[in-house]
Amino acid sequence: MKRVMLTVAYDGTNYHGWQLQPNVTTIESVLNGALSALLKQEIKVIGASRTDTGVHALGNIAVFDTQARMPAEKFAYALNQRLPEDIRIQDSREVPPCFHPRRQESRKTYEYKILNSAFPMPVCRLYAHFTYVPLDVVSMQKAAAYLVGEHDFKSFCSVNTTAETTVRTIYEATVEKCGDMITIRVTGSGFLYNMVRIIAGTLIEVGRGNRPPERMQDILRACDRAQAGPTAPACGLTLVKYVFLENGLQ
């Protein structure tokens, strides 16, 4: 028996998110189906980040156990033959049997993209949120800086959360503009339900001038979802990087 870790990239446009749910197609259900067909036995993966409907990933993580003789490295090739073209395994490797992607210490990086121009650009429409209201990037940068560190992010968490604690550590929160595209980049130890999209929605409010950057401190302190901005649309969000700290796996 060995445990295999998969790095999974996907275009979330046509999926109801990562997590297995009845009657809808999810990344997890498609992965389980492809693995089960390949290995001719029922396989259920354990995923790392349960991304929402419409959210993309360059490298989400999943593990599964198998007695198959196939070398772990070959699973990427074999699975990609069976997966639809909007899901592609980027890497497959053996990990210790105790390796659990949600219990392992890790750093995840998300990017939220905003196209800020007079009109939407068709080739960006699936991967960036569009707004024609001019956003002040310098204010957004100042506001983002308040998020860095260990904080209670209850204000930036959907009220539907089941998390035991809403304290998380953010290592990096930056805002950059390149042409008409604004990229919010957030690296953390873990994220609450809808956390990056609520951060993006709040930074957009700051960028529009509706709130001063310093207000971020008050919003954090309030521990009240109603104090933060709206949840920004899913399509702008991409899980770009997943690094496990303990054994250097990434």
> Which amino acids are annotated catalytic?
52
In single-letter form, the type of residue at position 132 comes to Y
Q: Which is nearer to its own copies, 127 or 156 (CB)?
A: 127
Regarding 71 and contact with its own copies (CB under 8 A), the answer is no
Nearby residues of 107 by Cβ (< 8 Å), 6 or more positions away: 171, 187, 188, 189, 241, 242, 243, 245
Structure tokens, 83: 């997966």
Q: Could you tell me the sign of the dihedral formed by the alpha carbons of 205, 210, 216, 219, in that order?
A: negative
Count of residues near its own copies by CB under 8 A: 23
Regarding 87 and contact with its own copies (CB under 8 A), the answer is yes
Q: Choose, by CB under 8 A, the member of 75, 110, 112, 127 that binds its own copies.
A: 127
How far is it, in rounded angstroms, from Cα 109 to Cα 69?
34
Residues 96-125 that bind its own copies (CB under 8 A): 118-123, 125
Q: Directed axis angle between helix 27-39 and helix 75-82, to 10°?
A: 110
Map residues 42-61 to x or -, x wherever contact with its own copies holds by CB under 8 A.
Answer: --------------x-x---
Q: Which is nearer to its own copies, 83 or 232 (CB)?
A: 83
Ramachandran quadrant class, 54 (left: phi over 0; alpha: psi -120 to 50; beta: rest): left
Name the strand (E) or helix (H) holding 199.
helix 195-207
Q: Choose, by CB under 8 A, the member of 90, 158, 183, 189 that binds its own copies.
A: 90
Q: How far is the CB of 86 from its own copies (least distance, A)?
A: 5
Regarding 191 and contact with its own copies (CB under 8 A), the answer is no
Regarding 10 and contact with its own copies (CB under 8 A), the answer is yes
Determine the Cα angle at 216 with ends 212 and 221, to 5°: 135
Regarding 134 and contact with its own copies (CB under 8 A), the answer is no
Regarding 243 and contact with its own copies (CB under 8 A), the answer is no
Residues forming contacts to its own copies in the complex (CB under 8 A) are: 9-11, 56, 58, 76, 80, 85-90, 118-123, 125-127, 238
